[in-house]
């Protein structure tokens, strides 16, 4: 074989080999990325299921809800045991009741919008509409006041709780699970 063609063969082989090496290296990197992504997804799933487990473990008979001058409840989800559930709402704010009163109403998720509309024109009864859709409610509370709702008669399910003081429900609203 001539010197040149030997050199060419060698060059060709080198190119093929290095192609293989780089090719497999690239593949490995992709696999590593996939593995990293998979573990990230697993991590997120684990966190979510841990959160669910925590909520389930916290399902109890007494839940405390607080509300203050920031127009928010302390939590947007509550979990109660079926047959014994109670929610105690405490107004921990300082603003007068006429400006920043808080209450809590419990309704089926599907009844939320209709109940909100009815509450707007129920000023005389502290924004509690006379409706069977209101499954439980507290008094409208001023600073330092509290009231407890008895939810022991509610069947297991998912409900909505909210403050019916005008303008509050967009921020003061949460999901109640009874199980």
Give the nearer residue to Co ion in terms of CB position, either 90 or 102: 102
Q: Which residues in this chain contact Co ion in the complex, by CB under 5 A?
A: 102, 163, 165, 168, 172
Q: What is the DSSP string of 90-107?
A: EE---S-HHHH-B--EEE
Query: Which pairing describes strands 136-137 and 105-108: parallel, antiparallel, or unpaired?
Result: antiparallel
Minimum CB distance to Co ion, residue 89 (Å): 10
Q: Smaller CB distance to Co ion: residue 23 or 166?
A: 166
Q: Work out how close the CB of 103 gets to Co ion at its nearest, in angstroms, rounded to a whole number.
A: 7
Position closest to Co ion via CB: 163
Q: What is the largest CA-CA distance in the chain?
A: 107
Q: Which is nearer to Co ion, 67 or 151 (CB)?
A: 67
CA distance 77 to 67: 14
Whether the Cβ atoms of residue 143 and residue 132 lie closer than 8 Å to each other: no
Nearer to Co ion, 90 or 168 (CB): 168
To Co ion, the closest distance from the beta carbon of 69 in angstroms equals 10
Least distance (Å) between residue 169 CB and Co ion: 8
Q: How far is CA 50 from the centre of its chain?
A: 13
């Amino acid at each position: 074989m001539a010197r040149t063609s030997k050199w060419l063969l060698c060059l060709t082989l080198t190119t093929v080999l290095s192609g293989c090496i780089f090719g497999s290296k690239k593949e490995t990197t992709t696999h590593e990325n996939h593995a990293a992504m998979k573990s990230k997804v697993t991590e997120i799933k684990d966190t979510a299921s841990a959160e669910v487990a925590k909520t389930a473990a916290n399902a109890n008979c007494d839940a405390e809800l607080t509300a203050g001058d920031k127009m928010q409840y302390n939590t947007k989800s509550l979990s109660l045991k079926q047959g014994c559930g109670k929610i105690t709402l405490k107004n921990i704010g300082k603003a007068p009741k006429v400006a920043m009163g808080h209450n809590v109403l419990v309704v089926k998720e599907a009844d939320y919008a209709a109940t909100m509309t009815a509450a707007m024109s129920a000023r005389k009864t502290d924004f509690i509409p006379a409706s069977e859709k209101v499954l439980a409610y507290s008094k409208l509370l001023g600073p330092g006041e509290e009231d407890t709702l008895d939810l022991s008669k509610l069947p297991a399910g998912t409900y909505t709780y909210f403050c019916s003081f005008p303008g509050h429900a967009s921020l003061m609203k949460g999901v109640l699970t009874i199980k």
